[in-house]
Structure 1
Amino acid sequence: MVKNQHKDLKHLVGCRLKKDIYSNKGVLVLSEAMILTDEHIHQSILHGVGLSISDIVMEDDKNMDLVIDEALDQVKSIFRNVRHTNRIPLIDIRRKLIPAINKITENSGLFGLLNDLQAKDDYTYYHNIGVSIIATMIGKWMQLSPQELSILSVAAFLHDIGKLMVPKEILNKAGKLTEDEFEIMKKHTIYGYEIINNTIGCTHRHALIALQHHEREDGSGYPLGLKGDKVDILSKIVAVADVFHAMTSKRVYHDAIPFHQVLQKMQKNAFGKLDPTITTLFMEKIMSTTIGNETVLTDGRRAKIVMINPSNRMNPLVKINSDFVDLSQHHNLNLAQVLG
């Protein structure tokens, strides 16, 4: 048993503790700022102390990868729980997952983060945490209150929980859904609303976000065909995060859409589909985070983003080797991918 626990905590070796760790009897087991070794891990297990990513200091990209990996493990565990019990373990989400998501959103390497969140097995897990991270970032940029931000982070993570009720052959179909299949798929919004609404500790607003995240400003969305003035602002934020993450993700039936095409589609969707204020803010912030990043251009060349054009944010000034190129002056040359 101890051997298995030691193996599970092996990834924390070399990390620095950010606080003193005590046993349940009040005995100091490990001290703040200590660099963890195999022996420290062994001692923590003998004293019945549980260590996690939240106990260590984030000092480099490796540690951020650990946070993401642990968060994804939490996601899988939570979804298994819901699948088997039809109940949402809200305490686990609030105590374990949301602190990890907040820690991740403090990381400035947004595009490296998005690359890390590319689905390596089951897209559903990566999508739910990806949407929660992006929605939380938007909420912070919009300066939402702590209460609203808390609701947003949890609800964004749960936005697709209703898909657990959709037949797997439809959910995992490697191709376009038939009309009948799509009608079944659309019901995930209603299923999600019902599951969340019946969860003790969740508010009606949490449930509304699952119900409304596919509604659109012009009333063309589903399941109720609501227009923008009838849709909760948090649902609108999740809609933007949902669309962006879906387009930038590699799926079974299509590759990730090139970055410039994602921006073009987002810009187009800001007129009638997605909330224009939220979408514009998101695109401005997204582009501002790309300065200094490496990028792959549509002709295959690599470049570095140097400056964002205030009048044409989607086509920045880039440096290719020793040459500066203004993409706003080259209509056939765009950003295909932004690297971390």
Structure 2
Amino acid sequence: MRTHIMDLKEGDRLKSDIFNRAGLHVLPRGTSIHKEEIALLIRQSINHVDIETREELVPVAGSTRQDFSQLLQENFEIAVKGFQSVFLEALTTGKFSQSMVEDKLQPMLEVIDQKKDVVSLLITFGQEDVNIYNHSLQVGLLSYYIASWLGYSKKECEEISKAGYLHDIGKSQVRQSIRNHEESLNEEEREEMKRHTTYGYDIIRESMTSEKIALAALQHHEREDGSGYPNELKKDDIHPYAQIVAVANTYVGLTAPKEGSPKPGLLTVLRKVYELGFGELNEKAVQALTRNLLPNFIGKRARLSSGETATIIWNNPSDYFKPLVQVGEEFRDLSVERNIVVEELFME
């Protein structure tokens, strides 16, 4: 149903992807329309959009943003606690219950299917205290999104999400003193930590029938130039599931603050992952992440390295990571002001 943007109502959902006049992706199909999305469409000079017919829309639990955030948080906590139980079971028995993984992860996947603004999800999850449990869940959820952007089927996306959720299960067999070590490890400790990949493969093979999920645990630290571990594999020998999980794991890992340093901004992290897509990480998975995250930065409030607060207005096609921003009534092109960068994004 083609509709003028001024006739849109809260809760309308886009029937197709939205692109601006320059061909840049603005909003993905399935986005639920609220005031922020309408404001974004106005800024992009988009007058009409196709929406799903209102009679066919099925109300979803937590249809308001507040309700959705609460639903998201509740399911996030359940899934994190679920992974903690899986991890402890693997620690004590060397295997885990496959049904527990599915029971705890599946409701979370159903919730995030309602949320197309992945950046808001990442900001929300980034507010959590980082530990192995919520790190693993974040990798699982981001792997799900990357797989969907790459065109995998729903069933494959769910399997890849499980691979991300379980990628670090092998750390259950690493000594706790090393696993929880916050300072630099010595050579012997680093070698033991690296063995979590082979431990993970063995645990998953004991617990599940999926060789693909086990290979993702084994290979998620392999790099396409042969610089990774445990087997120094190159591009053609790394399983596609592992390539996707490696990108998600790298992205989530880079968002965690290092001791004595401020938490890096999402745009800064995305640039680092983008650069790793030229040799180390799978280029297609990195490009899928970049292309689909960048449109979601538009309309977000941000802190600049100058200390100013701005709103991201436009992604510069010649330099994705130097957007056009608005500070007060003034528009600023960061591709021209090269000394200023976006440091942090905020939830509204």
The answer, yes or no, to whether TM exceeds 0.5 is yes
* The one of 277, 281, 294 aligned to 2:288: 281
Cα distance, 1:255 vs structure 2:
4.1
Residues 257 and 144 of structure 1, relative CA distance in 2, 3 Å threshold: same
Asked whether 1:262 is paired with 2:266, we answer no
* The one of 317, 337, 345 aligned to 1:338: 345
Q: What is the aligned partner in structure 2 of residue 221 from structure 1?
A: 228
**C-alpha separation between the residues in 2 aligned to 1:73 and 1:119?**
17
Aligned sequence identity (%): 32
Report the secondary structure of 1:313's partner residue: coil
Cα distance, 1:62 vs structure 2:
2.4
Report the secondary structure of 1:257's partner residue: coil
Show CA shifts across 1:68-112 (max 9, x none).
Answer: 222222222222232233222111211332231342253134333
* Aligned 8 A contact 2:265 2:345 in 1: no
**C-alpha separation between the residues in 2 aligned to 1:140 and 1:320?**
35
Give the TM-score normalised by the residue count of structure 1: 0.78
Report the secondary structure of 1:220's partner residue: coil
Q: What is the aligned partner in structure 1 of residue 252 from structure 2?
A: 245
Cα distance, 1:203 vs structure 2:
1.1
* Aligned 8 A contact 1:316 1:328 in 2: yes
Matching residue's letter, 2:155: Q
* The one of 217, 238, 243 aligned to 1:231: 238
Give the TM-score normalised by the residue count of structure 2: 0.77
Cα distance, 1:251 vs structure 2:
5.1
Cα distance, 1:323 vs structure 2:
0.9
Q: What is the aligned partner in structure 2 of residue 315 from structure 1?
A: 322
Matching residue's letter, 2:163: A
Residues 311 and 105 of structure 1, relative CA distance in 2, 3 Å threshold: farther
* The one of 296, 303, 320 aligned to 2:303: 296
**C-alpha separation between the residues in 1 aligned to 2:62 and 2:191?**
44
The gaps in structure 1 that reach 5 residues or longer are 1-55
Q: What is the aligned partner in structure 1 of residue 176 from structure 2?
A: 168
* Aligned 8 A contact 1:217 1:275 in 2: yes
Report the secondary structure of 1:289's partner residue: helix
Q: What is the aligned partner in structure 2 of residue 3 from structure 1?
A: none
Cα distance, 1:234 vs structure 2:
1.1
Show CA shifts across 1:170-191 (max 9, x none).
Answer: 1111212112111111000000
Q: What is the aligned partner in structure 2 of residue 8 from structure 1?
A: none
Q: What is the aligned partner in structure 2 of residue 57 from structure 1?
A: 61
Q: What is the aligned partner in structure 2 of residue 83 from structure 1?
A: 91
**C-alpha separation between the residues in 2 aligned to 1:141 and 1:120?**
26
Cα distance, 1:143 vs structure 2:
1.3
**C-alpha separation between the residues in 2 aligned to 1:138 and 1:227?**
21
Report the secondary structure of 2:321's partner residue: strand
Cα distance, 1:120 vs structure 2:
4.5
**C-alpha separation between the residues in 2 aligned to 1:298 and 1:123?**
28
* Aligned 8 A contact 1:215 1:227 in 2: yes
CA RMSD of aligned residues (A): 1.9
**C-alpha separation between the residues in 2 aligned to 1:78 and 1:260?**
32
Residues 111-260 of structure 1: pairs in structure 2 closer than 5 A: 111-118=119-126, 120-121=128-129, 123-199=131-207, 201-250=208-257, 254-260=261-267
**C-alpha separation between the residues in 1 aligned to 2:73 and 2:162?**
21
Matching residue's letter, 1:71: A
Q: What is the aligned partner in structure 1 of residue 100 from structure 2?
A: 92
Report the secondary structure of 1:336's partner residue: strand
Cα distance, 1:237 vs structure 2:
0.5
Show CA shifts across 1:248-268 (max 9, x none).
Answer: 123556543233432332122
The gaps in structure 2 that reach 5 residues or longer are 1-59
Residues 174 and 232 of structure 1, relative CA distance in 2, 3 Å threshold: same
**C-alpha separation between the residues in 1 aligned to 2:130 and 2:346?**
23
Show CA shifts across 1:50-75 (max 9, x none).
Answer: xxxxxx81223222222222222222
Cα distance, 1:151 vs structure 2:
1.7
**C-alpha separation between the residues in 2 aligned to 1:253 and 1:129?**
25
Report the secondary structure of 2:315's partner residue: strand
Between 1 and 2, higher relative CO (CA 8 Å, sep ≥ 6) is seen in 2
Q: What is the aligned partner in structure 1 of residue 74 from structure 2?
A: 66
Deviates more, 1:268-277 or 1:207-216: 268-277
Report the secondary structure of 1:217's partner residue: coil
How many residues matched?
284
Cα distance, 1:292 vs structure 2:
1.0
Larger Rg: 1
Asked whether 1:101 is paired with 2:109, we answer yes
